Structure 1
Amino acid sequence: MTLLFVTGTSTEVGKTVTTAALAATARGAGRTVAVCKPAQTGVAASEPGDLATITALAGITRTLELARYPDPLAPDTAARRCGADLLTLHETATAIADLDSAGLVLVEGAGGLLVRLGEFTLLDLARELAAPVLVVTAPGLGTLNHTELTTRALWDSGVHCAGLVVGSWPERPDLATRTNRTDLPRLTGAELVGAVPAGAGSWSPGRFRATAPGWFAPYWARRYLGTDATDREFRPVPAAITT
C-alpha cells in the first residue's frame, strides 16, 4: 500500500477536486485506489459529502469516512457541539492501515494541516503513518504566507512534503498569481508539481478523468501515484508550472 496525504493551506483551496484528480490519474493507470476522509463536517447524514464528489469525478468505488458532523466547523469543535466522541489517532491510523488491499490510499484532511480531526491533527496522523503530504494551495495574493507556514510545519515535524499543487488555476491569472508560480517553490523549498484548472470540479466525469493526468508532472505521478506511463502519454504539464 502506498499512502499519500492531501492537505490544504486553508479551506476552499481545491483539496477535494485535487484528491479526485489524483485518484483518477492513478486509477487510469490501472492502480486500485481507496480514499479516506477521516472527518466530514457541514453535511447531514443523508447528504453527499466530499467522498461523493471524489467518487463521481474519479470513478473509484472504495472510500472510508470515519465521522460526520452537521456543523460546518473544525471536526473537533463540530463533534463537541453534537455530543459525539472525538476520533482518536489510534483508531484512525488503524482504519487507514486496514485499506491495505488498495495499491494507493489517499487521505484527505479537513481545512489546513493543523485543524483538529479529533484528538489529533492531519500532521500527527501523517507522522504516525510515515506518510508524505501533498499541499494544495491557492494561486493568488496571500498564498505565499499560508503555504510557507504549512510547509514549514511539515519540515519542522520531520514529515515529507510531497510537493505543491495549485488547486484552482485561473484561465486568466493576474499579476500576483503569475509571480506566485515562481515564488511558491522558491520560498517553501517544495516543488510545484501540479495545477488543477479552475472549475474542473463541475466538468463531466469523462472529461475530468481524461484530462486529470495532464495536471501533474509526469515524473511526480510515477513516483507518488505509481503510474508507469511515459512522458509522451501525458498531456503537457500546465503552463502554470512550466513557464
Structure 2
Amino acid sequence: MKKIFITATGTGIGKTFISAGIAGICLEMGLKTAYMKPVRTGAEADDDPAFMRLLLPSLYKLPPALECPYSFPLAASPHLSAKLSHSEILPSRIISSVREIEKINGLDLLLIEGAGGVYVPLNADYTILNLIKELNVPALIVGLPGLGAINHTMLTVSALINYEIPIAGIIFNQLSSEASIIENDNIETIERLSSLSALSAVRTIKISGGVPLLKDIMSLFDADKIGQMIRDL
C-alpha cells in the first residue's frame, strides 16, 4: 500500500481541501483510497474526516478509531489541546493505527493529513517531523503562494531534508483568481531554490453556501502531475 503524509507551511493553509482534491483524482485512477487524520484539534468547529466522507462517498471508510486516533475540542497546538483535555498524545498509538490500516486487504493508498506545520509538537518532545520520519512516508507540502511564501516554504523543505524525509512535491493553495506577479515569482523561485516541482497551483474557489462539488475542486488541480506523483510513491 502506498502512503503519503500531507503537511503544510502553517495552519489554515487548506490541507484538507488539498487532500480532497488528491483523493478525488486517486479514486478516478481506480485506486482504493483511505484518509486519516492522526490528531484533530478544534473538534467542536471543524471535522475534517466528516468533510472528506461527505465530499468523497467512495472513499474507503476506516473505523473511527483508526481514521482519527486523537480528537480534542480546543483549536490549538496538539500538545496543548491534549494537555487541557487531561490527556497525552502517544505516538505509538498513531503508529499502531497506521500499521493496522496497512493490513487492510486491497487498499491501494492512504492519505495521512497532519496538524499544522512540520514543527508542531504532539507532546513535550515529539513533533510532526518525528511522526513522518517514524512512519517512513514521503511528505507533500501545502503552502500559500503570497508574500512570505519563499521563507515559509523553504524552511519546511529544509526541515524535511534535515530529517531525511523524501518530499513528493509542493502544492500551492489559495492562488488569486488572477495570479499576481508576486505569487508567480514566489512559485518560480521556490521551484528553483528547492529543485522541487509545483504539482499544482490551486486557485481560490468561491462557495455560495454548503459544501463545494468535488468536480469543482478537482478541476483546480493538475491531475496529470498528481497522478504521476502517486505512481512514483
- Structure 2, unaligned runs of 5 or more: none
Per-residue CA deviation, residues 171-192 of structure 1 (Å, 9 max, x unaligned), is 1222211211211111222211
- Contact kept, 8 Å, 2:19 with 2:111, in 1: the verdict is yes
177-186 or 146-155: which moved more? 177-186
Question: 1:127, CA displacement in angstroms?
Answer: 1.1
With the length of structure 1 as denominator, give the TM-score of the two structures.
Answer: 0.83
Q: 1:79 aligns with which of 74, 82, 86?
A: 82
Matches within 5 A, 1:227-238: none
Distance in 2 of aligned mates of 1:210 and 1:27: 15
Percentage of matched positions with identical amino acids: 26
Q: Does 1:68 align with 2:71?
A: yes
Which stretch shows the higher mean deviation, 51-60 or 105-114? 51-60
Q: Secondary structure at the match of 1:5?
A: strand
Residue 105 (structure 1) shift: 0.4
Aligned residue in 2 for 1:49: 47
C-alpha separation in 2, matches of 1:56 and 1:201: 16
TM-score by length of 2: 0.87
Match for 1:209 among 215, 221, 230?
215
Structure 2 Cα separation of the partners of residues 200 and 16 of structure 1 = 16
Give the CA deviation at 1:61. 4.1
Matches within 5 A, 1:21-40: 21-40=21-40
Q: Secondary structure at the match of 2:153?
A: helix
- Post-superposition offset of 1:57: 2.2
Amino acid at match of 1:42: G
Cα pair 1:42 1:72 within 8 Å, conserved: yes
In the superposition, relative to structure 1, how do residues 219 and 139 fare at CA in structure 2: closer, same or farther (>3 Å)? Answer: closer
Contact 1:33 1:62 in 2 (8 A): no
Taking a change above 3 Å as real, the CA distance of residues 76 and 211 of structure 1, as seen in their structure-2 partners, is closer
* Aligned counterparts, 1:61-210, within 5 A: 61-63=60-62, 64-84=67-87, 86-100=88-102, 101=104, 102-118=107-123, 120-199=126-205, 207-209=213-215
Q: Which amino acid aligns with 2:179?
A: P
Whether the 8 Å contact between 1:26 and 1:226 is mirrored in structure 2 is no
Closer, same or farther: CA 112–41 of 1 in aligned 2, 3 Å: same
Answer whether contact 1:43 1:68 (CA < 8 A) is retained.
yes
Deviations 1:95-130, CA, capped at 9 Å, x for gaps: 012112221001101110111234522221221121
Take 1:116 and 1:53, find their aligned partners in 2: how far apart are those partners? 25
- CA distance in 1 between counterparts of 2:22 and 2:34 reads 11
Moved more, 14-23 or 95-104: 95-104
**Root mean square deviation, CA, Å:** 2.4
Q: Shift of residue 205 of structure 1?
A: 6.9
Q: CA deviation at 1:23?
A: 0.8
* Unaligned ranges ≥5, structure 1: 228-243
